[in-house]
Amino acid sequence: MRTLTKYLTFNTRNKIEFVRITDEIEKAVRESGVKEGLVLINPMHITAAVIVNDNESGLHADYKRILEQLVPYGADYRHNDSGEDNAASHIWRQLMGHQVVMAITNGKLDLGTWEQIFYCEFDGRRNKRVLVKVIGE
């Protein structure tokens, strides 16, 4: 069995941002030499998520709008009593999903027609890491 562990680092300009990382994940798969297996993509921070969806700016704007409606960023949260201001970002992360596992077939990501992988930052403007773990044969 082959494995590869990589860490991607992000420092977004905006507090809330969707970053397409498909190319970086494909590069890790190629580097691993894995032909058949899985790749785990895990944000190592509790205010970020990884998702798979269409690379369409209107969809990203819709995500932000719906998340803000469900869990307003500026609302009064107990977590923020500790001096933090990011309680909503913790909840957004849970709503969007923590991590993804993608299939590798014939040495490539096995993506659907419109599928792309995104790092979703909900409390940005500082360094954050994403674990990429490739496992297979």
In the chain, where the domains are located: 2-136
pLDDT digits (tens, 9 = 90+) for 53-66: 999 999 999 999 99
What pTM did the predictor assign? 0.95
The residue with tokens 């014939």 is 106
Fold of 2-136: Jelly Rolls (2.60.120)
Nearest to 75, CA basis, from 60, 63, 92: 92
Helix 87-96 vs helix 57-70: angle between axes, to the nearest 10 degrees?
Answer: 120
Q: Starting at the edge strand that comes first in sequence, how are the strands of the sheet with 2-10 ordered? A: 2-10, 128-136, 37-43, 100-105, 108-109
Q: Which residues of the chain have pLDDT under 50?
A: none
Predicted pLDDT of residue 75: 94
